[in-house]
Structure 1
Amino acid sequence: MSADAGDGDGWVHLPDGTRRWGRYGSAGLLLCADSAGAGGGRVLMQHRAVWSHQGDTWGVPGGALNSDEDSVSAALREFGEEVAGEVGEIELIGVHRQEHTVWRYDTVLARTPAAARLEPANWESDDLRWVDVADIDGLRLLPAFGRTWPLLREALAHRLALVVDAPAVPAVAGAAGGRDGGGGGDRDAALLRLRDDLAALSAAGVAADALPAGLAPAGLHLWYPRTVLLTGGAGSAPPPVAGVEVVASAAGALPVSARPEAFTVVVTDRPDAFAGARRTAVVGPEWLEAAAPAVVRRDHSGRT
């Protein structure tokens, strides 16, 4: 709940007769620090004020979405209103959605490198505490959080990685005259557009139902990938941008594969180059049609 009234503030009554806060739904931030894989890390937990709805329980900072917000924006805003202190860099992992037909709650999962000293910023929290993941089951949890915690705990231990073999993407291949062609400036412009499209995809997230079957743990609605663009090793490479690492090498290297928590989608037309990679799904460039239509619908002039 936000101390400053927004147009999302208000109760919604569910078909079962219970009520939930947030006319447009609600969202919260599940922030994990020092997580180095399955079972590790500490989570910032909020002891809800006794007077609040289902108070004297433990959950995560959050509140109502306003009509002009997405879940991440709302979760970060509410976190800023309820938590005092400098958190540091936050890396998004994904979104878990509880859907109740007329109302939803989105838990935004994220990581931060260190457990910063944080305190309640308003009267909605009796306490804020970094709690070892293994100890959370021992708290008196908000019922809805308690039901989803096993799934959230599993998801916190992982990340989605996306590796794109640029010469396999039609917009780049066409600009370069094929894998062995030399498109010069056309190729460079196509790589820039691809990099920017992938940055947009990394920021927007990949819908769980767009992932190859069985790749990542079930339960999340959305995954935010760590994205690597392989430029092919010939010619110039665009600089990296937020959300996209650029590697001037040919297919065959997985820069993210050494991270044990990563599930990886590789987009390439040379599946043999990535054969046997652990927890990796190799897909053709057509996969981007579902995950990021603008990436594959561009021609080499940049028109869509």
Structure 2
Amino acid sequence: MTIEPPAFEHRRPLGPRDPGDAWVVAPTGERYWGAFGAAGLLAYDRERGVLLQHRVTWSHHGDTWALPGGARHEGESACDGALREAQEEAGVPDGAVRPRLMSVLDLGYWSYSTLVGDVVEPFEPVISDPESHELAWVPVDEVDRRPLHPGFEDAWPRLRELLPVRPAVVVDAANVVGSVPDGWWRDRAGAAGRLIDRIGGLVGAGVPAHALGLPETTWFPHVTVVVEGQAKATQTSAPDLDIVRAAGSGDDTIAAEAARLVRSGRSVTVVTSDRGLAERARHGGAEVRGSRWLLDLLDLLE
């Protein structure tokens, strides 16, 4: 969490100033940096641990360790703000971290959003502004052995408990498409493609935690869409999800994909209203949601 002293704003490099670079004063007098709230990135590498920033002495709670982060820009999402700040402060490359969940501390008058993301392209952090003594990958078991920024110290136990939680969603595309009488039978590939494009938007926006039965605010699950029959010819531009084209039975492929993800440690939700497939999915360790569950999420997003 970034809560800066008044002196901080005089130490920033000269240049264009975003309206978000301003103070919010709480009713009790505390000052919080970020007129539109603030955001930070908890980049998690399963081999190396968590990327932490050793804050410079002159900063608020100087010489403590916390996450790269700072004030959000006007009109900027919390996810974009966290990734931008991590890039500016620690040189995190584009595409190196895949969002997994968003945790939000909302005080009503100010908020801090922590984006937890998995490192998918290993990188070495680079100090690129005057706000860091050091940047380091810290093993999870060693994080609380360091002097932590009070805000991060309060949040760390809860965030640490969530690191093993890796949700995944497997979608029975034929079942979802067939649940809406919109003429899909005339163009199954086109109908499947439209569904996949809609799901791609949901992947980017995230799924509300309550919809997955998980804590915190928003999750960005790994999504797999299984297509079969004529729908295998579908063309789509959705890059952030996996498309599995069933070679034979769609149900067999969905059950096998769900079981594989469960074995890999994922918390799996299968989307289907087919009773037989639902039973197979549950037997393999997955949760099941009906087609309407997904369609309602897509409608809400749009």
Corresponding position of 2:149: 142
Q: Do the aligned partners of residues 272 and 119 (structure 1) sit closer, same or farther apart at CA in structure 2, a change above 3 Å counting?
A: same
Q: Which aligned pairs between 1:150-165 and structure 2 lie closer than 5 A?
A: 150-165=157-172
Distance 2:196 2:121 in 1: 30
The answer for the alignment partner of 1:284 in structure 2 is 290
1:101 Cα offset (Å) = 1.1
Q: CA deviation at 1:117?
A: 2.1
- SS of corresponding position for 1:149: helix
* CA–CA separation in structure 2 for the residues paired with 1:75 and 1:197: 25
> Which protein, 1 or 2, shows the higher relative CO under an 8 Å CA cutoff with sep ≥ 6?
1
Describe how 1:145-224 pairs up with structure 2 within 5 A.
145-170=152-177, 174=181, 183-184=185-186, 186-211=187-212, 213=213, 216=214, 218=215, 220-224=216-220
User: What is the SS of the residue equivalent to 2:181?
Assistant: helix
Tell me the secondary structure at the aligned position of residue 286 of structure 1. Answer: helix
State the shift of 1:25 in Å: 0.3
Equivalences for residues 1-304 of structure 1 within 5 A: 3=13, 5-33=17-45, 35=46, 41-84=48-91, 86=93, 89-113=96-120, 115-170=122-177, 174=181, 183-184=185-186, 186-211=187-212, 213=213, 216=214, 218=215, 220-239=216-235, 241-249=238-246, 250-251=250-251, 252-255=254-257, 257-259=259-261, 260-270=264-274, 271-278=278-285, 280-293=286-299
Asked if 1 retains the 8 angstrom alpha-carbon contact of 2:281 and 2:287, the reply is no
Q: Which stretch of structure 1 is more off in the superposition, 232-241 or 265-274? A: 232-241
Q: Residue type matched to 1:123 in 2?
A: P
How far apart are residue 168 of structure 1 and its match?
A: 1.7
Amino acid at match of 1:243: D
Structure 1 distance, partners of 2:226, 2:95, is 29
Q: In 1, Cα distance between the equivalents of 2:139 and 2:233? A: 42
Which is richer in helix?
2
**Range moving further from structure 2, 152-161 or 131-140:** 152-161
Which blocks of at least 5 consecutive residues in structure 2 are unaligned? 3-11
Distance in 2 between the 1:166 and 1:84 partners?
Answer: 39
Number of residue equivalences: 279
Residues 167, 173 of structure 1: alpha-carbon distance in 2 compared, 3 angstrom cutoff: farther
TM-score (norm 2): 0.84
Root-mean-square deviation (CA), in Å? Answer: 2.4
Gaps of 5+ in 1: 178-182, 296-303
Native 8 Å contact 1:172 1:190 kept in 2: no
Letter in 2 for 1:118: P
Partners of 2:149 and 2:284 lie apart in 1 by: 40
Cα separation, partners in 2 of 1:228 and 1:85, compared to 1, 3 Å: closer
* In 1: Cα distance, 2:195 partner to 2:25 partner: 45
Cα deviation, 1:10-49, whole Å, max 9, x if unaligned, reads 111223332211001000011011x2xxxx6411100111
Residues 86 and 67 of structure 1: CA distance in aligned 2, closer, same or farther (over 3 Å): closer
Residues 86 and 95 of structure 1, relative CA distance in 2, 3 Å threshold: closer
